[in-house]
Copies of this chain bind each other. A is one copy, B any other.
Amino acid sequence: MLDNTDIRILEELSKNSRITMKELGKKVHLTGPAASARVMKLEDSGVIEGYTIKVNPVKLGYFVHAFITVITQSTYHQPYLLFLETQKQYVINNYKISGDGCYLLECKFPSNEEMNQFLEELNEQANYKLSIVIKK
């Protein structure tokens, strides 16, 4: 399915997705059109799901990065999920997990105050355990 050249293309695009097809081709020993065709195939087959940027959260004013293990009070998760919909600005990822808890919720907050506000509202829907990221 994927040969070595495809893997190298994925590596290069992971490092810099705005690279020109000509440059990408040079890196993997192909011409521009050939690299472009490979990339298009990777898109069509769903290996490449999209092109995005890495943003510095601190520069955007998000200083707190937290993982919250969520244990919903009832087996009915809808209230929790609806609550999350209203708090999208804080949510990075919400993983449904097996293990300790029902969800692992990854969030970013501008301050501890806003996080506290969020947690108090969350607590109406679910219990939680909080882990703050110190360093990545």
Interface residues of A (CB under 8 A from B): 2, 10, 13-18, 45-56, 59-60, 65, 67, 69, 93-101, 104, 129-136
Contact = CB atoms under 8 A, between A and B. Distances in A.
User: How many identical subunits does the complex contain?
Assistant: 2
Nearest to A133: B95
Contact of A13 (B49, B53, B93): B53
A10 B52 CA distance: 10
Contact of A53 (B50, B98, B134): B50
A131 B55 contact: no
Nearest to A135: B96
Given A15-B50, A67-B97, 6 more contacts: A10-B60, A15-B52, A48-B56, A67-B67, A99-B129, A104-B131
